[in-house]
Amino acid sequence: MEKKKIIELLNLDLQDEHGAIIQYLSHAYGMGEGEVACEIEAIAREEMRHLDWLAETIVALGGKPSLERGTMNMAGKTVPEWMSNDVGLEQGAIDHYGEHIRAIDDPRVKRLLQRIVADERAHHGKFEHFIEKAKKEGLKDIRGNRSDSLSRSLNWGVGHEYTVILQYMFHSYMTPDPEARKQLEDQAVNEMQHLGWLAEELVDSGGSPVIEHTAVDRATGAAAMLRADIKVEKEVHEKYGRIADEVDDAGTKALIQRIRNNEGYHIEVFNDLLKEAEGK
């Protein structure tokens, strides 16, 4: 099979991993704290690892990782229904990976997909277990309908964090510089933490996280990537400052200020990388 076709198949798999991550995080946040929610977040992290492996393989084959979001099933009003949808999503992934394993003749790629399928089978079994556990423990959707300036600000933050996670991961895959790659990955992980903190704060305060991203910068030149990342960090650093000034609750204010301080650190890291990229 030609590399171009392999890249196409791997990008379809990557898109579905992306969709699974968002579906599972939405379900975990919707339940609030608890053992099942924590286990689902752990599954989402494993799907993130799959996405990372697939993206690196795509780049190694000469392609670009897709930023599109694949199959999702956000239907259902109860937690058992959510878990049933997650079982179905995992079965679909197992089936699609099986088709791609049979179609692809590159032994290294086949081996990677077989490794991922082993995880998906384990996830399938866990979600089947969660259906009964959710019924037994009476787990419910605890999200509320709060819609005020604070909830809108927090949801703005969720959307921003989701966007820069994608942006920094894409830039990390496309840069040839090992130090830049490591730093971009590290800051993306920090942004993932921010997304979780903001989503949990929203649910705790009676709101509902909306996990949707805005436009992602897809520059590929080292300096262009870093300039785009610095620009977005400066903008968000300023906005988080304005949000913190408007928040009355001490706990929420402290959270926003913590995130703002993290963004300031990202600016400094990216500025250092930009100087190196420009040979200064």
The third-level CATH classification (topology) of the domain covering 3-137 is: Ferritin (1.20.1260)
C-alpha 17/C-alpha 37 separation (Å) is 19
**How do the domains of the chain map onto residue ranges?**
3-137, 149-277
Confidence (pLDDT) at 1: 84
Backbone angles phi, psi at 255, to 5 degrees: -65, -50
- Over 80: is that where the pLDDT of 200 sits? yes
| Mean of all residue pLDDT scores within the chain | 96
Q: What is the pLDDT of residue 33?
A: 87
Q: How confident is the model at residue 255 (pLDDT cuts 50, 70, 90)?
A: very high
pTM of the model: 0.95
pLDDT value for 279: 86
CATH architecture of 149-277: Up-down Bundle (1.20)
Mean pLDDT of 31-48: 96
Per-residue pLDDT of 77-108, as tens digits, reads: 999 999 999 999 999 999 999 999 999 999 99
pLDDT confidence of residue 22: 98
Binning pLDDT at 50, 70 and 90, where does residue 280 land? low
For the stretch 150-184, pLDDT in tens is 999 999 999 999 999 999 999 999 999 999 999 99
